[in-house]
Amino acid sequence: MQFGIFSVSDITQDPTTGRTPSEAERIDAAVQIAVKAEEVGLDVFAIGEHHNPPFFSSSPTTLLAHIAALTRRIILSTSVTLITTNDPVRIAEEYAMAQHLAKGRLDLTLGRGNTVPVYPWFGQDIRQGLPLALENYNLLHRLWREDVVDWEGKFRSALQGFTSTPRPLDDVPPFVWHGSIRTPEIAEQAAFYGNGFFANNLFAPNGHFAPLVNLYRQRFAHYGHGTPEQAIVGLGGQAFIAHRSQDAFKTFRPYFDKGPVYDHSVPLERWAEASPLSVGSPQQVIDKTMTFRDTFGDYQRQLWLVDHSGLPLKEVLNQLDLLGGEVVPVLRKEMAARRSPGAAEAPTHAGLVKAKYGDAEPRQPRPNANRGDNVTGTSPYQDSDPAKAAVYPVLR
């Protein structure tokens, strides 16, 4: 099982000092947080995607590629990549590129995004958000699996003879999680393709997302990818930890009280009790996280939100020390002790390569020669399927 952190990249005033970090400071902090996450033994760092202030993360692959160069082990991911307002062709290209640079330590979570104006800024319409997300993924899926793609859909210009470059590392696409909080069609798509399903597990009552996760598990089995318990589930959560429970509440309270994402008519204590928000001692956070397993079954990835609502970098790094030093080691043991032998392994590039090739060497695509007009002719790679020739659009 993988444990890590995810961030929405908000730049928020620290309510205890009145200071708002600059974009430069917050971007630098994100890098330090990711590096620290690896140092304390976490497995995953994920960053969100936003296209408006007060968020900084408009370009996740740039940030993740930089972090990849500074780390050796941690898996880099997104929370989320916008499958609606991004061109799936650009997602295919950018994430394959980042996957190469990260030597396979990269996957991604797809989400629709709920900021209404972002859609028109990118030429889209939020009212078409769901079909847009579904169609875009259908295309992305093919772009990473077929050397030559002919495609026609409703939302994007058609493709003829298109090859997304670079091909994924070892010709094994980055693992995809589909994130959703209420949409059965997204669970269905994740299940159909045998991809992962991620529930952010934030800001809702305990267990609220269980029906959607269960639906995904059932449909994963329905499509023949394995048993329901072999489905690949990721969960979010949120943690604020101190050695003594009362200190955790005391330190976190001003951030909760000012945080724009909370219903402030409900006191912090009630949130911490009735929702997946963990506030308290390491043991309390461990206990709370173990209830996620009771509710959702054995799962593959646990991510916590730890750097939001204006928490200063120093405190976030302290949280990582506690998370990596005292919480996660116990959770690894406890989760492993309870784990059903049939539960799926967490997805890694090495695991996916092994599943595809066994002990054989992975495919390493080598392009055919430039025929003089910057394309390779009817077959992009030396080992491309000759039966699937590229037919380029004709200019009339």
SS3 for 212? helix
> Which of residues 138 and 378 has its CB atom nearest to other proteins in the complex?
138
Distance CA 40, CA 326 (A): 10
Q: Which part of the chain contacts other proteins (CB under 8 A), choosing from 27-35, 56-64, 88-96, 208-216?
A: 208-216
**Residue from the set 31, 40, 101, 130 that interacts with other proteins by CB under 8 A:** 130
Phi-psi label, residue 161: left if phi above 0, alpha if psi -120 to 50, beta otherwise: left
Task: Kindly state the helix (H) or strand (E) to which residue 179 belongs, with its residue range.
Answer: strand 176-179
Q: Site for other proteins (CB under 8 A): how many residues?
A: 32
Q: Does 215 sit near other proteins (CB under 8 A)?
A: yes
Q: Which part of the chain contacts other proteins (CB under 8 A), choosing from 126-134, 240-248, 312-320, 352-360?
A: 126-134
Site for other proteins in 155-184 (CB under 8 A): 155, 182-184
> Which of residues 154 and 366 has its CB atom nearest to other proteins in the complex?
154
Q: Does 10 sit near other proteins (CB under 8 A)?
A: no
> Which of residues 183 and 251 has its CB atom nearest to other proteins in the complex?
183
Query: Cβ 11 to other proteins, closest distance in Å?
Result: 25
- What residues contact residue 320 under an 8 Å CB cut-off, 6+ apart? 5, 33, 36, 37, 40, 42, 306
Q: Does 123 sit near other proteins (CB under 8 A)?
A: no
Q: Does 212 sit near other proteins (CB under 8 A)?
A: yes
Site for other proteins in 218-247 (CB under 8 A): 218-219, 222
Query: Cβ 20 to other proteins, closest distance in Å?
Result: 26
> Which of residues 203 and 357 has its CB atom nearest to other proteins in the complex?
203
The answer to whether 152 and 173 have CB atoms below 8 angstroms apart is no
The answer to whether 137 and 81 have CB atoms below 8 angstroms apart is no
- What residues contact residue 366 under an 8 Å CB cut-off, 6+ apart? 381, 382, 383
Alpha carbons within 13 A on the beta-carbon side of 373:
3
Distance CA 308, CA 256 (A): 10
**Residue from the set 38, 135, 229, 307 that interacts with other proteins by CB under 8 A:** 135
The answer to whether 139 and 151 have CB atoms below 8 angstroms apart is yes
Residues in touch with other proteins (CB under 8 A)? 130-131, 134-135, 138, 141, 153-155, 182-186, 188-189, 192, 203-205, 208, 211-212, 214-215, 218-219, 222, 263, 265-266, 274
